[in-house]
Structure 1
Amino acid sequence: MYERILIPTDGSNVAQAAVDSAIDLAERYDAEIHALFVADTDAVAYGLGTEQVDRIRQGNFEGMTELREDATEATSYVTEQAEKAGVAAVEHHAGGQPHRMIANYADDHEIDLIVIGSHGRSGVRRALLGSVTERVLRSTHTPVLVVDYQEDD
């Protein structure tokens, strides 16, 4: 049923909860995990020059230490958890509008399921889905599993 499962991740607790669900499914279906970190170029464009934004769009975070570390940390967590479970994993870093990059990646890599957190790194608990998650749901025909995370009180 599932051969390739995509996990868009920003490294947040919600994204890490989605990893657990995705790996469980990957184990059951002998599927490959794809970990995707997308740097939102709309959010970073104001503080960077055109050349740097173009490099980010190409997934090249060289010279941007903090961004590169965030991307590596987020996707490495996914691959480490996958390896512990005996699941094959692929890491990818990209730049652009997250919902479009996620939908395009799913199409380009014949992804069978997207497993995504209900919201990302916002500090506020939302009653509605996060904007990226909501836009992913509207941007792709690939099935999407939305995973919520609630911190222990």
Structure 2
Amino acid sequence: MYDRILVPTDGSDVAEAAVDQAIDLAEKYGAEIHALYVADTDSIAYTLGTEQVDRIRQGNFNEMTELRQEAEAATGYVTDRAAEHGIEVVEHHEGGRPHTMIGKYADDHDIDLIVMGSHGRAGVKRALLGSVTERTLRSTHVPVLVVDYRGTEE
């Protein structure tokens, strides 16, 4: 039923909660997991120049140590957790609008299921779903499993 499962991650507790669900499904169906980190270029465009944003959109984080480390830590968490269950993970770092890049990645890699948290690091209290999750639901035809995270965020 599921051969390829995508876990978009920003390294937040919410994203990490979705990892366990993805691993459980990957074990059950013998699926491979793809961990995707998307640097939100709309959010960071104001602090970086156009040239830097273009590099990020191309997935080139090498010159931006902090961003590269954040991306590697986020997808690395997925890889480490999956390795505990004998599951290999394909890690990918991208730049752009998160929901757009998630949908594009899913289409380009024949993803069967997207597993993501109910809101991420930039979650707004008043929203039931985070904006990235909501936009992903509206913009893709790939099934999305939304993991309800009930943390202590204030």
Q: One fold, TM greater than 0.5?
A: yes
| Contact 1:2–1:29 (8 Å) recurs in 2 | yes
Tell me the equivalent position of 1:43: 43
Shift of 1:88: 1.9
- The whole-number CA distance in structure 1 between the counterparts of 2:133 and 2:44 is 19
**1:22 alignment partner, SS class:** helix
| Contact 1:31–1:88 (8 Å) recurs in 2 | no
- The whole-number CA distance in structure 1 between the counterparts of 2:84 and 2:101 is 28
Q: TM-score, normalised by structure 1?
A: 0.96
Tell me the equivalent position of 2:135: 135
Q: How many correspondences in the alignment?
A: 153
| Contact 2:100–2:139 (8 Å) recurs in 1 | yes
Shift of 1:123: 6.4
| Contact 2:123–2:131 (8 Å) recurs in 1 | no
Tell me the equivalent position of 1:110: 110
Write the letter of the residue equivalent to 1:30: G
Within the alignment, does 1:5 sit opposite 2:5 as a pair?
Answer: yes
**2:114 alignment partner, SS class:** strand
Shift of 1:128: 1.4
Shift of 1:147: 0.4
Runs of 5+ consecutive residues of structure 1 not aligned to the other structure: none
Tell me the equivalent position of 2:145: 145
Write the letter of the residue equivalent to 1:92: H
Tell me the equivalent position of 1:94: 94
Q: TM-score, normalised by structure 2?
A: 0.95
**1:107 alignment partner, SS class:** helix
Query: Identity of paired residues, percent?
Result: 74
Shift of 1:139: 0.7
- The whole-number CA distance in structure 2 between the counterparts of 1:47 and 1:88 is 36
Within the alignment, does 1:55 sit opposite 2:51 as a pair?
Answer: no
Tell me the equivalent position of 2:72: 72
Shift of 1:126: 4.3
| Contact 1:10–1:121 (8 Å) recurs in 2 | yes
Question: Which runs of structure 1 show a deviation greater than 4 angstroms over 4 or more consecutive aligned residues?
Answer: none
| Contact 1:26–1:33 (8 Å) recurs in 2 | yes
**2:45 alignment partner, SS class:** helix
RMSD in angstroms over aligned alpha carbons?
1.4
